[in-house]
Amino acid sequence: MSHGAEHLSGEGRRLLNRRGFLSQSGTALGSIALADLLAGDGLLGASGKGPIRPVIDPSNPYAPRRPHYPAKAKNVLVIFCAGAVSQLETWDYKPELIKQDGKPLKGGPAVTFQGPAGNLARPQYAFQQRGQTGKWVSDMIPHLAELTDDLAFVHSLTSETNTHGPAENFLSTGFVQDGFPSMGAWLSYALGSENSDLPAFVSILDPRGVPQASVNNWGPGFLPAEFQGTTFSASQPIRHLKRPDAISGPQDRAARSFLQRMNARHLERNPADGKLAARIASYELAARMQLSVPEIGDLSSEPEHIVKMYGADDTKNQIKADYAKNCILARRLIEKGVRFVQLFNGAYASGGKLNWDGHQKLKEQYDVHAEILDQSTAALIRDLKQRGMLEDTLVVFCTEFGRMPMFQKGAQGRDHNPDGFTCWLTGAGVKPGVSHGVTDELGRKAVQDIHPLYDFNATILHLLGLDHERLSYFHNGLERRLTNVEGHVIRELLV
């Protein structure tokens, strides 16, 4: 792989130009000399401000790489609630909304995303004060509510769009458009992997199906394909992991060893070609994955009390049991050092049947969804905690936007609301029991400490020891970042 000037920022390149570097000596200087040169000018390294682009060794793209500064978190678990969970039925308690139930919202929008707005509607679940903090949390999620003291909430997030697909893009990639790298891809690119037998980035899909922005949530965008998420779940193995049925074990081994000999001979004929060596290494890693992935996906070694705690033994609710197994799988992956695990709860648009998009019959549908989400997710966080894994694992609970305090006209559900919604963090480096940011008394809009999702993502990168303004990739003439040209770390959430 090249170590030339294309790895530099525009600024860095202009500097080089001034020095006549390109015209005088081509690329005679190696990357190390170049890095030194730039560090001297403060364009690289901890003291500078310039972009930082990790140097990827093509024969080992997943090698662990150091963060920009000491990190609080080594791994991330993202619990991604697709379809937009209502903040008003969960974490953002609005007593005033109970009082104004059935009244029109004065000065509110006549038309929202799906059409005409109806009247204000009270939260559909009762709220109770929880734990030491006494924070009001909904009865919809009794197990998660018990964890309230450990969580750091942001109630004042905003999105740039009120359409699910672009909004999931925005949450996962920092851009509403298709085609930008997902957060997990950025982290694999920045930090590599701690485990040489497993992918650095795994996306576990909901048993009900794919989320709305689908592959965009785990895609590499314009980053090299190495850094894309690998999708599998407790019920869906990695595609092409196993040899085809028509091929026997001995045939498979014979083909593999012959292939490696052919490739080794080809490398001998073309010596010093790093890409050819990388191909040989990639087949070796694939072979290791063929052993390690089934092992990690085999939950039979989990003790009964764990299976019970997650609800993976639920015989009446198959979806819940499957989601619970995904939760166990998530823990096992993080235990093995998988850098970024994205756990989906909720699938695609379905009139709210398969995800949190409660437009028409919110209460009825949320009863079903909460049953699937609550116990297993809470068990996962407890399990991580009791194993001491929250010391270096950051847990993110997120959704693409919130919902309106009004019901839609003629319906029993809420429309899309990108103007003020709630996500939370817990685990490594996160201050427990914080509630930051405020929506107005009816929960329509964020009014205090307003944070576009850029800020939330900047905070996640920060906890991983990465400066969101410097982690970059040069693409089509631009230093691209997860946070575009925006983002401020939300310090109030940090220890």
Residues in region 195-214 near other proteins by CB under 8 A: 199, 209-210, 212-214
Select from 33-41, 65-73, 274-282, 373-381 the region that touches other proteins (CB under 8 A).
Answer: 274-282
Q: Please name the helix (run of DSSP H) or strand (run of DSSP E) that holds residue 279, with its range, or none.
A: helix 274-297
At residue 388, φ and ψ (nearest 5 deg) are: 75, 10
Least gap, CB of 354 to other proteins (angstroms): 9
Nearer to other proteins (CB atom), residue 256 or residue 445: 256
Please state the closest distance from residue 4 (CB atom) to other proteins, in A: 5
Q: Can you tell me the distance from the alpha carbon of 421 to that of 238, in angstroms, rounded to the nearest whole number?
A: 34
Q: Are 98 and 124 in contact (CB under 8 A)?
A: no
Residue 243 lies near other proteins (rule: CB under 8 A): yes
Contacts of 265 (CB under 8 A, 6+ apart): none
As measured in angstroms, the least distance from the Cβ of 485 to other proteins is 9
What's the closest the beta carbon of residue 27 comes to other proteins, in angstroms?
5
The number of helix segments (H) and strand segments (E) in the chain equals 13, 19
Cβ closer to other proteins: 71 or 81? 81
Q: Among 75, 86, 100, 112, which residue sits at the site for other proteins (rule: CB under 8 A)? A: 112
Stretch that binds other proteins, among 109-117, 301-309, 421-429, 459-467 (CB under 8 A): 109-117
Contact 464, 191 (CB under 8 A): yes
471 near other proteins (CB under 8 A): no
Binder among 32, 259, 291, 495 for other proteins (CB under 8 A)? 259
Q: Count residues contacting other proteins (CB under 8 A)?
A: 97
Binding to other proteins (CB under 8 A) within 357-416 occurs at 416
Helix or strand holding residue 155 (H, E): strand 152-158
Q: Which stretch binds other proteins (CB under 8 A): 71-79, 343-351, 369-377, 424-432?
A: 343-351
Query: Applying CB under 8 A, which of residues 242, 308, 387, 491 lies at the interface with other proteins?
Result: 242
- Residue numbers 12-71 binding other proteins by CB under 8 A: 13, 17, 22, 25-28, 58, 61
Consecutive H or E run containing 65: none
Angstrom distance (rounded) from CA 272 to CA 371: 57
In the window 279-318, what residues touch other proteins (CB under 8 A)? Answer: 279, 281-283, 285-286, 289-290
Q: Tell me the C-alpha distance between 372 and 317, whole Å.
A: 8
Written as one letter, the residue type at 297 is G
Q: What is the dihedral of CA 84, 85, 89, 93, to 10 degrees?
A: -80
Among 32, 46, 254, 291, binds other proteins (CB under 8 A): 254
Distance CA 311, CA 313 (A): 5
Nearest CA among 204, 345, 219, 232 for reference residue 292: 232
- Per DSSP bridges, beta strands 438-439 and 446-448 are antiparallel
Interface positions, 214-233, toward other proteins (CB under 8 A): 214-216, 219, 221-226, 230
- Indicate which single residue of 273, 295, 298, 313 sits in contact with other proteins (rule: CB under 8 A): 273
Maximum Cα–Cα distance across the chain = 80
Rounded to a whole number of angstroms, the minimum distance from the CB of residue 20 to other proteins is 12
- Read off the tokens for 384: 């991580």
Q: Verify binding: residue 127, other proteins, rule CB under 8 A.
A: no
Distance between CA 370 and CA 363 in Å, rounded?
A: 10
For residue 29, the minimal CB distance to other proteins (Å) is: 10
Distance of alpha carbon 234 from alpha carbon 332, whole angstroms = 11
Residue (46 or 478) nearer to other proteins, CB: 478
Q: How far is the CB of 452 from other proteins (least distance, A)?
A: 13
